[in-house]
Amino acid sequence: MHSTKPKCCHVLKQNSYQEYLKLKAKVEVLQQSQRHLLGEDLGQLGTKELDQLERKLDTTLKQVRSTKEETLVEVNKALRRKLEESTAATQPPWAAEEQNVSYRRQPAQPEVFFEPLECTNTLQIGYNSVVPDHLNVGTSTPSPSGVIPGWML
């Protein structure tokens, strides 16, 4: 029985050491892959490996963007709900009734009697004490020069 215990322990140690070597090799491969993804040690890669790396980066970037977009959409929905709740809480009771009432708008009718005003570049303030006879007839229409007759003041 003495001979089986050391042999068993020896096999167990050997299996553990082989497992250790496999894990160490995997760690080295992962570290090298990480360096490549970070843009380091690319000089030793061939065209095929660079193409694979580019595809891997593109795929990862698409996944990140998709996840980010989904997160932003959810945040946007939550903020919109919160805004609607806040608006509903601060709205007076009669405002909700007004929103339920439908108003019929009259169609806009163009102004038929619109006449454009004549503009002059000079501004005349005050009144003219000497008024021509054709302006002092008793009508209330302003003169074309913009001067108000004295009798209207």
Q: Is residue 34 within 8 Å of residue 57, measured between CB atoms?
A: no
Question: Would you tell me how many other CB atoms lie within 10 Å of the CB of residue 150?
Answer: 13
* pTM for this prediction: 0.43
Distance from C-alpha of 128 to C-alpha of 49, rounded to nearest angstrom: 95
Segment 35-58 shows an average pLDDT of: 91
Segment 32-36 shows an average pLDDT of: 91
For residue 148, report the phi and psi dihedrals to the nearest 5 degrees.
-90, 130
Distance from C-alpha of 128 to C-alpha of 122, rounded to nearest angstrom: 15
Q: Is residue 130 within 8 Å of residue 109, measured between CB atoms?
A: no
The predicted-structure confidence for 93-126, as pLDDT tens digits, reads as follows 676 666 665 555 555 655 555 566 666 666 666 6
Distance from C-alpha of 116 to C-alpha of 110, rounded to nearest angstrom: 14
